[in-house]
Structure 1
Amino acid sequence: MHGYSDSNKGDLAIVVGMVQGIATTRPGAGIQLQSVYSESDPEFDFHHRFVRKMGVKVQQMAVPSPYVDSADQSRFRNVVAVRNLIFSACAEACARLLPPLKGLLPRQTAALDAMRGSDIVLLKGGQYIYNDQRGLRALLYLWRILHPIYVAAGMKKPVVMLGQSVGPLVDDRGRRMTARALGLCKRLVVREKKSQALMAELGLQATTELAPDFAFLIEPKRPDAFPATAERIESGRWLGITVVKWSFPDAADPQAKRAAYLDAFTEVAKRVHAKSGLSMALFPQVTVQHHGESDLDLLKQLAERLEQLGIPYVLVTDDLAPEELSYLYGRCEVLLGTRLHSCILAACAATPVVAIRYQGFKTEGIMAELGLGDAVFDIGAMDVDGIEAAIHRSSESRARISSLIEQRVAGFRKQLIEVLNRVLPK
């Protein structure tokens, strides 16, 4: 459940890791991915181009996202989304509770039939069970995310949450909604200790266990379909960079915070190039449009600044699979990563990482598990001196850090296979 866009390479890496893990532990098992995107979205097929190549059947969820385009956020768009959500919820209820109407609601019926015919329902890993704001919109989002658990439980299907960071949950209503829904799950597998502690606070410790993110099952692979990019990265010395087009929702002046974020990257790049001679490799880890924007927009601004400063760089815009990104991150001396899964994919290739935390506690938790807890910085207070020092330490100790990461990742992979062997039907 809860498939997202393949243009978000982190979410894609989670799905690929899960599919590969299931294929390893349960050869021949059929897999269906239900997407948060509506099949009425004109980009539905593009959103799932990589997953379908793996032989996975993809369909929309019975109650998909009410946003069916990538336009800029607006009051009118939100009103339309509420209308779409009400329609989808009513259609799902009719298809589920009134069999004579099933033929009139083919998408909802197909999604429900797939769930009804399954042996187990898995909630895809990531971080999407949260309400980080108060108000009706946040609660409607949380209801939509949790609703499939009730549907599956009503069908007597075992539900397992795999590789989640849960939260933040900013109000009591959101906490009660989450505790009630997750209490119906057979097993809750969280990917860092703060989520584990939150599950205990919600009274769910008996069914909770800690395991790594499923993207750690990704094995690096050279992007042979893009030889020019591979050869360019292989032939240089690079500081890899990923960014996030973050909205800074808690800031008094979000535009000023976003400007400071970009200024900090520019200054770090300038200092690192001057001291160590590294060039900059810019990777848009997420190119799916969210409220009309993507990470690529911000990287293009950074590229313009590097051009003006005379700092050599490459902006990688090829449509790469997670294993191909991992390979390229592996050719960088260090990755300065804001997107969590760029950090994970770099770790899969044993590359030292300096991480920028931007949402919840997922980044600091996973970096701590990698033994890199002292190389995490907050997006709201970009510590240029600290980031620069961490990059130089990582570069100077690359062999030692790479060996540490390699050992940790090997242990993570073994643990993930053990988790799947426990939770999947025989």
Structure 2
Amino acid sequence: MQTPSANRALIVNAYSYRNAGDAAIMLSTAELMRDLGATSVGLATRYEEDRDSYHAWGISTFAPLVAFPARGGSSGLARLVRFASSALLTCAVVFLLGPFLNSSTARRALSAIRPRLRPLLSANTAVVAGGGYLYSSRRRVNLSLIHSCLSIWICRVVAPKCLMMPASIGPVTRRSDAWLIGASLRGVQPVVREFESLTASTHPPKLSKPRLCPDVAFYGLGNVDGDIDHELRTPAGGTSGPLVRIVALDWSWSGSVRSADFDRYVRAMASLSNQLNAAGMRVELGGHSAIPEHGQDDVAVCREIAELCDFPVQVDEDCEVSHLWARYGELDLVIGARLHSCIMAAAVGTPVVVLGYQEKAKGVASMMGPGVPFFWVDDLPVETIVLAARATLQQRMTASTELKHRIRASYEQ
């Protein structure tokens, strides 16, 4: 196998397409890499069911660099054994052959021994996906973090070039997690979308000086020069009242909020819907992630909220990323507990109110502009949010154009 000659990029550490925020990150990353000269973009993902969805966007999908068996296919022990064996063999072979990959013989040997590394061996650039997965979870052993960090290490050893997309790093609360993250990113320029998560870490990883860059989803699905004309954008409201979408979050899986407060959160979201409706706004509910097997079913939470509302509220059950990109451009305001609902809305010029469940949301909200309202999702001051919604309706997210240019400029360096 020869050293790659075409300008190919391979994105690693992708998460499920069924989470629209993660899909927006991957699609925007692919768009950015193409604009920077990549002739083809591939995606190494542990979610085999995503193949057709990404193929529709011109992105080829491949198996992850290290096997990560899906839940439900086998017992937990069997999954752990398969993951461990794949990780040990892959890391051992990469460690032994890594210093000799300038040799076509070594590259052919690595390809033959570990076929799942062939897409990486054929790539000029390995792209470490952005997002918010480099943190300490409430699980004592976070296999997902281990898998992500191993993938980063393999990329920086094997690929001629390794780029990191803007990510949230932290909060890191275990020394072992801090070491793992720091070791995997050694030799890679860390790029963060906000510093709040690192600051909140009790055990921050040792990193070379991180570079700040807006979340890549601000780049969107069109060329950076195709910015929205905020003066010509037509609001959806008018005589029938402004149209507001509340994007709910199933955060029952997260260790960052108190799970015992989940019922109170649902009631508060219903109360917010009621008060917005009473204030003359049209309200709809929607989600971003419908992955029940991972404890993420935003649509189910929307239904719970709707049942508690005093008026008939529409629940949009479509979480497909292309539908949401289009829908956010038709709204007057998005009040989002899903961070990427606010990012995607802002990217198409729609004003937002951010309801955060982790430090990353507060950091990204501040990057959107000093006037973007932020509230913690586990303690919602409903009346104050309604006042913020009234004020925010008069604004336009003109900062999104500048954020897109900053992303492009950051990676052109």
More helix by share: 1
The structural deviation recorded for 1:69 is 3.8
Q: 1:107 to 1:125 in 2, by over 3 A?
A: farther
Q: Distance in 1 between matches of 2:115 and 2:388?
A: 51
Q: Distance in 2 between matches of 1:333 and 1:233?
A: 7
* Equivalent AA in structure 1 for residue 22 of structure 2: D
CA RMSD of aligned residues (A): 3.3
* Equivalent AA in structure 1 for residue 26 of structure 2: V
1:260 counterpart (238, 259, 264): 264
CA contact (8 A) 1:62 1:88 kept: no
CA contact (8 A) 1:216 1:409 kept: yes
Tell me which residue corresponds to 1:365. 363
Tell me which residue corresponds to 1:5. 16
Tell me which residue corresponds to 2:404. 413
The structural deviation recorded for 1:386 is 2.2
Q: 1:48 to 1:264 in 2, by over 3 A?
A: farther
2:277 counterpart (273, 278, 292): 273
1:390 counterpart (377, 388, 391): 388
Aligned to 1:112, the other structure's residue is in SS state helix
* Equivalent AA in structure 2 for residue 331 of structure 1: E
Q: 1:59 to 1:289 in 2, by over 3 A?
A: farther
1:355-410 Cα distance to aligned partner (Å, 9 max, x none): 11112x21111111111566111122222222222112223xx2xx20xx22x111
1:159-206 Cα distance to aligned partner (Å, 9 max, x none): 221110111110222112211221131x22211133576899644343
TM superposition score normalised by structure 2: 0.81
Aligned to 2:124, the other structure's residue is in SS state coil
1:131 counterpart (136, 139, 160): 136
Tell me which residue corresponds to 1:228. none
Q: Distance in 2 between matches of 1:236 and 1:328?
A: 17
Q: List alignment gaps of at least 5 residues for structure 2.
A: 1-11, 98-106, 223-235
1:160 aligns with 2:170: no
Q: How many residues align?
A: 378
Q: Distance in 2 between matches of 1:7 and 1:420?
A: 27
Q: Distance in 2 between matches of 1:107 and 1:388?
A: 60
- Listed as ranges, the matches of 1:46-125 within 5 Å are 47-69=50-72, 78-93=76-91, 109-125=114-130
TM superposition score normalised by structure 1: 0.79
Q: 1:77 to 1:382 in 2, by over 3 A?
A: farther
- Listed as ranges, the matches of 1:1-400 within 5 Å are 1-26=12-37, 29-37=39-47, 44-45=48-49, 47-69=50-72, 78-93=76-91, 109-133=114-138, 135=140, 137-138=141-142, 140-155=143-158, 157-185=160-188, 187-194=189-196, 202-206=205-209, 208-218=210-220, 237-247=242-252, 250=255, 254=259, 256-275=260-279, 277-306=280-309, 309=310, 311-318=311-318, 320-322=320-322, 324-359=323-358, 361-372=359-370, 375-395=373-393, 398=394
More strand by share: 2
Identity of aligned residues (%): 23
* Equivalent AA in structure 2 for residue 382 of structure 1: L
CA contact (8 A) 1:288 1:294 kept: yes
* Equivalent AA in structure 1 for residue 274 of structure 2: K
Q: List alignment gaps of at least 5 residues for structure 1.
A: 38-43, 71-75, 221-231
The structural deviation recorded for 1:250 is 4.9
* Equivalent AA in structure 1 for residue 313 of structure 2: Y
Q: Distance in 2 between matches of 1:190 and 1:252?
A: 23
Q: Distance in 2 between matches of 1:198 and 1:253?
A: 17
1:5-58 Cα distance to aligned partner (Å, 9 max, x none): 2111111111111111122221x5221110033xxxxxx23x243321122110
The structural deviation recorded for 1:112 is 0.9
Aligned to 1:165, the other structure's residue is in SS state strand
The structural deviation recorded for 1:59 is 0.9
Q: Distance in 2 between matches of 1:80 and 1:291?
A: 18
